[in-house]
Amino acid sequence: MSWQFSSYVGRGLNSDQLNMLAEKLTVQSNYSDGHLTWAKFCKVQT
């Protein structure tokens, strides 16, 4: 996800930012091996 962010704003996400996003986007307690596709991240909730 960091490289997608970087392509828009010119810098990647740091580990604190990635951890915060992982906590918000996953329901797993161990999110270090979790996967979230860019398409799912961008999906608009209706």
Task: State residue 27's pLDDT score.
Answer: 63
- Is 32 inside a domain boundary? no
In a domain, 29, yes or no: no
Residue 31 lies in a domain: no
**Domain encompassing residue 19:** 1-24+38-46
DSSP 36: -
Task: Please provide the size of the chain in residues.
Answer: 46
Interatomic CA distance for residues 43 and 19, integer angstroms: 20
Predicted confidence at residue 39, as pLDDT, reads 75
For the stretch 1-46, pLDDT in tens is 778 888 888 888 888 988 888 777 766 555 566 666 777 777 655 5
Residue 5 resides in a domain: yes
pLDDT score for 44: 57
Would residue 33 count as lying in a domain?
no
Q: Which pLDDT score is estimated for 18?
A: 83
Number of domains in the chain: 1
